[in-house]
Amino acid sequence: MTTLLKAQPLVDQKIADLTKRCQTLIQNGRTPFMKVVLVGNNPASLTYIKNKKRICEMVGAKFELDQLDDKITKDEFLKHIEKLNNDPAVTGIIIQLPVSPELKTLRITNLVNPEKDIDGFHSKNTQWLYEGSYQTNHLLPCTPKGIIGLLDFYQIPLKGKHAVVIGRSLIVGKPISMLLSNRDATVTLAHSKTENLVELTKSADIIISAVGRAELITVSHINPQRKTVIIDVGMNTLDGKLVGDVKFDEVSPLVAAISPVPGGVGPMTVISLVENLILATEKKS
């Protein structure tokens, strides 16, 4: 029987825990306050932001969206971020990507004060990954943090296991590779130029696909004898439906466990972000 690695039971647990921690902070005069900065009105970004707001409100944290004109100059944008960095009431800041073409040349990930960097993208925060630690009191990047949370919740062993991560982006592929390595997995990081992907995935105990291509992973990538665990990070549209990178119907019967899309990594990313907000506020208290 294949286990479906659904996020909901863990999300429910985390919401209960974060609500308590948020109440304690508020009682001590420190309201967790998330500011999201959006440049323009990208519809996908607005959907992601709505989810962030919903979870903030569920746990009792304050949320505000600063929607900036897509014609904003670099100087004006930098001033806006500086103002938020210096505002003692704001405890977590997210610059929603993508930004306008004009702003793309800025090193966006390093603009937010590292203590308020709840996305976990600032080099001061990603440094923890390189240093080999996996401490829950660090502001780790949210999708990788959520993936590790999901694997732990379903008691998937990592130590000594062969994990094949597909995709080497800064927000998913690279940081999850390091987190898995810090948790004693043996990691292969595959990407668009990898020549023997099928050979690699067939020898994997854990496959993490973060590519963004529907039906990339098919039965040909799976060795049914290995009882593989698959984490599907991809978010793609196929025939008008949200799907992952894995051809779910044919692959899922051949593996030990698989995260569904929707309902797997997506909700874990949002809850990890709110967890980082509470953590950042606690650290300031």
Catalytic positions are 52, 96, 119
Torsions phi, psi for 232 (to 5 deg): -100, 110
Taking the CA of residue 74 as centre, how many other CA atoms within 13 Å lie in the half-sphere pointing to its CB?
9
Given a contact cutoff of 8 angstroms between Cβ atoms, the answer to whether 260 and 4 are in contact is yes
DSSP state at residue 226? G
Select the residue interacting with ligand NAD from 108, 187, 265, 271 (CB under 6 A): 265
Binding-site string for ligand NAD from residue 77 to residue 96, where x marks contact by CB under 6 A and - marks none: --------------------
* Parallel, antiparallel or unpaired: strands 241-243 and 236-238: antiparallel
Residue found under tokens 């937010």: 112
Query: Measured from the CB of residue 128, what is the shortest distance to ligand NAD in angstroms?
Result: 19
Residues 175-194, interacting with ligand NAD (CB under 6 A) = 190-192, 194
Select the residue interacting with ligand NAD from 95, 99, 139, 172 (CB under 6 A): 172
| DSSP helix/strand/coil, 38 | strand
Given a contact cutoff of 8 angstroms between Cβ atoms, the answer to whether 18 and 275 are in contact is yes
Select the residue interacting with ligand NAD from 168, 223, 248, 260 (CB under 6 A): 168
Nearer to ligand NAD, 138 or 145 (CB): 145
CA 185-2-180 angle, to 5 degrees, is 15
How far apart (Å, rounded) are the C-alpha atoms in residues 221 and 132? Answer: 30
How far apart (Å, rounded) are the C-alpha atoms in residues 124 and 114? Answer: 6
Nearer to ligand NAD, 160 or 240 (CB): 240
Q: What is the SS3 assignment for 12-29?
A: HHHHHHHHHHHHHHHHCC
35, with CB counted inside 10 A (0-12, 13-18, 19+), is buried
Number of residues this chain uses to bind ligand NAD (CB under 6 A): 25
Structural tokens at position 172: 């998913």
Query: Measured from the CB of residue 195, what is the shortest distance to ligand NAD in angstroms?
Result: 10
| DSSP helix/strand/coil, 87 | coil
Binding-site string for ligand NAD from residue 105 to residue 144, where x marks contact by CB under 6 A and - marks none: --------------------------------------x-
Residues 234-253, interacting with ligand NAD (CB under 6 A) = 234-236
Query: Measured from the CB of residue 179, what is the shortest distance to ligand NAD in angstroms?
Result: 14
Nearer to ligand NAD, 65 or 97 (CB): 97
Binding of ligand NAD at residue 269 (CB under 6 A)?
yes
Binding of ligand NAD at residue 163 (CB under 6 A)?
no
Residues 207-236, interacting with ligand NAD (CB under 6 A) = 210-213, 216, 233-236
Binding of ligand NAD at residue 167 (CB under 6 A)?
yes
Binding residues vs ligand NAD (CB under 6 A): 143, 166-169, 171-173, 190-192, 194, 197, 210-213, 216, 233-236, 265-266, 269
